[in-house]
Structure 1
Amino acid sequence: MNAAVPGWAGVLASVSLVALTVVVAWRRRLRLGREITFAAVRAGLQLAAVGAILLVVFKHTGLVGAFGWLAAMTLIAGQVAGRRARGLPGATVTATTAVAVGTAATLGVLLVLEVIEARPRVVIPAGGMVVSGAMQFTAVVLIRLRDEARTARLQVEARLALGLSAADAFAPHLRSALRTALIPVIDSTKTVGLISLPGAMTGLILAGVDPFTAIRYQIVVMYMLLAASALAVLTAARLTERVLFDEAHRLRPLPDQSPI
């Protein structure tokens, strides 16, 4: 057994950290004890189920199963990101398409250039990181676009009245939403290794891989996440811009309140 990987006894011991979190929440009267416990139990069960499924995928299904797994993750990610932007027309379809474009383009380039191996054991973890990053930033840009369409309606309609096209009238708000969505991933790329050691690099080092080998892999991962997030955000913004306006270049009405 690899000494760097905790055994099941270590996993059980780590439950004490969850208990500590519950005690802190209880002492501060946050009323979050039940939610923390549920989240911890759910995470453990989900990961155990995923581990069992991955064993089957790795041994019996090959790349077909790997890409099927990524397709399922993309659909789930689209649902999650779409729910965050509730009230925006076609939010779920837009989010799913954006995540799919970012994931397919990024992984496709890495596989074609043979930067990563075309094996399920490589494709699934790498694809999972891409889908997760694309989902997060797609949700951010969709929320921002929805809010901009609500709060800046008068400015947009004034530009439309002056004869500007829908794209030109909404352009300043589109750029603002894109900047808001992309700045976090740009900042995390700039500070990688200075503030924290990212997950992929940490996992490889814990597994006994040479640090310079782990660094090479982490560089690829960071560039992969940066590209996937940018492509997903740009795709989501483009599709949202189309559904916000009708054929006559009029801004569609949106609900005043949309729960997140």
Structure 2
Amino acid sequence: MGSVAVTPVLGGVIGFLLVAAGAVGWLGGFARWWSVLGAGVRGAVQLAVVSLVIAYVVRSSWLVGVFVVVMFAVAVRTAGRRITGDRTWWWAGVPIAAGVAPVAAVLVVSRAVPVTGLVLVPLVGQLIGGALTATALAGRRLLDELEQRRGEVEAALSLGLSDRDARLEIARPSAGTALVPALDQTRTVGMVTLPGAFVGMLLGGASPVQAGAVQLLVLVGLLAVEAVAIAAVLEIVARGRLTRPGPLSPAA
């Protein structure tokens, strides 16, 4: 299959679908039409800018590194602010880095994929995105659990457990829920959904076998990244590094 041509027809279809989404949300009373249209326009502008930036930075290895650092910084800020409003939000960088760095290193050292900017930027971007999602989900879930079960944490402390162990005792059983989206995506790939890497390679002219192999690499890489990120979030929450203002905060 050939690549998709960027034509006025494609632009018209995108515009029609965006207007339809806004109209349905407005008529259904569950979304403001201007919010939907605004999101679509913003996405179009951002993709246009990013496309131009990527076309430029892939020519230089150091620019690729700068672009990856920018993606990482945005992910840390986004994940941290989704978890907490206090100044500990920057600890979200630890699980994201802990998950992405070793997986990206394995891909580069093994030469499993071409070590070029055009390949590494989108691939590492997907890994950072997965780590962001897992970190945000795990951080919010664990802190919510500790707040809701504050009495159990205090009871564990009264039994002689350390702060870390008391938090782990309550938070650990909930940590696995953050991995569920990645597990479901991997279990249902090809049967329920055809993810972006697979479809993108097919549209780019790759064979189904090549597209499937790359998609499997992405999915398994995301599982590894997110598992490590969740484990790191659990540890930093248990140690009181990532907190929310309240009775369980070390500052309280």
Q: Note whether the superposition's TM-score is higher than 0.5.
A: yes
Q: Do the aligned partners of 2:80 and 2:92 also contact (CA within 8 Å) in 1?
A: yes
TM-score, length-scaled by structure 1: 0.88
The size of the alignment, in residue pairs, is 248
Question: CA offset at residue 31 of structure 1?
Answer: 4.5
Match of residue 218, structure 2, among 217, 221, 227: 221
Structure 2 match to 1:12: 11
Q: Do the aligned partners of 1:150 and 1:254 also contact (CA within 8 Å) in 2?
A: no
Q: Which amino acid aligns with 2:72?
A: T
Q: Do the aligned partners of 1:66 and 1:124 also contact (CA within 8 Å) in 2?
A: yes
Cα distance in 1 for residues equivalent to 2:189 and 2:2: 27
Structure 1 match to 2:141: 144
Match of residue 84, structure 1, among 82, 85, 92: 82
Q: Which amino acid aligns with 1:46?
A: Q
**TM-aligned CA distance change 1:148 to 1:33, over 3 Å:** same
Question: CA offset at residue 42 of structure 1?
Answer: 0.3
Structure 1 match to 2:124: 127
Q: Do the aligned partners of 2:2 and 2:203 also contact (CA within 8 Å) in 1?
A: no
Q: Quick check: 191-200 or 21-30, which moved more?
A: 21-30
Q: Which amino acid aligns with 2:202?
A: I
Question: CA offset at residue 158 of structure 1?
Answer: 0.6
Structure 2: 5+ residue runs without aligned partners?
Answer: none
Structure 2 match to 1:258: none
Is the counterpart of residue 197 in structure 1 residue 194 in structure 2? yes
Q: Do the aligned partners of 1:111 and 1:118 also contact (CA within 8 Å) in 2?
A: yes
Cα distance in 1 for residues equivalent to 2:170 and 2:241: 12
Structure 1 match to 2:28: 28
Structure 1: 5+ residue runs without aligned partners?
Answer: 256-260
Q: In structure 2, the residue corresponding to 1:243 is in which secondary structure?
A: coil
Structure 2 match to 1:43: 43
Is the counterpart of residue 158 in structure 1 residue 155 in structure 2? yes
CA deviations over 1:23-62 (Å, ceiling 9, x no partner): 2122223351010011001000000000111111123x2x
Give % identity: 31
Match of residue 230, structure 1, among 224, 227, 236: 227
CA deviations over 1:130-155 (Å, ceiling 9, x no partner): 01111011000110111112111110
Q: Which amino acid aligns with 1:48?
A: A
Cα distance in 2 for residues equivalent to 1:30 and 1:143: 25
Match of residue 249, structure 2, among 242, 249, 252: 252
Q: Which amino acid aligns with 1:126?
A: L
Is the counterpart of residue 69 in structure 1 residue 58 in structure 2? no
Is the counterpart of residue 109 in structure 1 residue 106 in structure 2? yes
Cα distance in 2 for residues equivalent to 1:218 and 1:25: 33
Cα distance in 1 for residues equivalent to 2:209 and 2:106: 23
| RMSD (CA atoms) | 2.2
Question: CA offset at residue 89 of structure 1?
Answer: 5.8
Cα distance in 2 for residues equivalent to 1:5 and 1:152: 52
Q: Do the aligned partners of 2:168 and 2:234 also contact (CA within 8 Å) in 1?
A: no
Question: CA offset at residue 6 of structure 1?
Answer: 3.1
Question: CA offset at residue 166 of structure 1?
Answer: 2.2
TM-score, length-scaled by structure 2: 0.91
Cα distance in 2 for residues equivalent to 1:193 and 1:3: 21
Q: Do the aligned partners of 1:89 and 1:244 also contact (CA within 8 Å) in 2?
A: no
Q: Do the aligned partners of 2:88 and 2:242 also contact (CA within 8 Å) in 1?
A: no
Cα distance in 2 for residues equivalent to 1:154 and 1:244: 20
Question: CA offset at residue 186 of structure 1?
Answer: 1.6
Question: CA offset at residue 75 of structure 1?
Answer: 0.7
Cα distance in 1 for residues equivalent to 2:85 and 2:16: 41
Cα distance in 2 for residues equivalent to 1:78 and 1:23: 34
Q: Do the aligned partners of 1:166 and 1:245 also contact (CA within 8 Å) in 2?
A: no
Question: CA offset at residue 72 of structure 1?
Answer: 0.7
Question: CA offset at residue 101 of structure 1?
Answer: 1.9
Question: CA offset at residue 253 of structure 1?
Answer: 6.8
